Amino acid sequence: MKPNINDLMKQAQQMQEKIQQAQDRLAEITVEGTAGGGMVKVTANCQNRIVAVEIEPEVLAGEDKEMLEDLIVAAANQALENAARRSEEEMQKAMGPLLGNLPGGLKLPGM
Q: Which CATH class is domain 29-101?
A: alpha beta
List, as one string, the DSSP characters of 47-61: TTEEEEEEE-HHHHH
Domain spans of the chain, in order of start: 29-101
Mind listing the pLDDT tens digit for each residue in 43-87? 999 989 999 999 999 988 878 889 999 999 999 999 999 999 999
Which amino acid makes up residue 83? Answer: A
Which position has the higher pLDDT, 101 or 33?
33
Residue 39's closest CA among 21, 61, 12? 61
pTM over 0.75: no
**What phi and psi, each to the nearest 5 degrees, are found at residue 33?**
-130, 140
**CA–CA dist 15, 36 (Å, integer):** 42
pLDDT computed for residue 101 by the predictor: 52
**CA–CA dist 49, 42 (Å, integer):** 11
**CA–CA dist 34, 41 (Å, integer):** 4
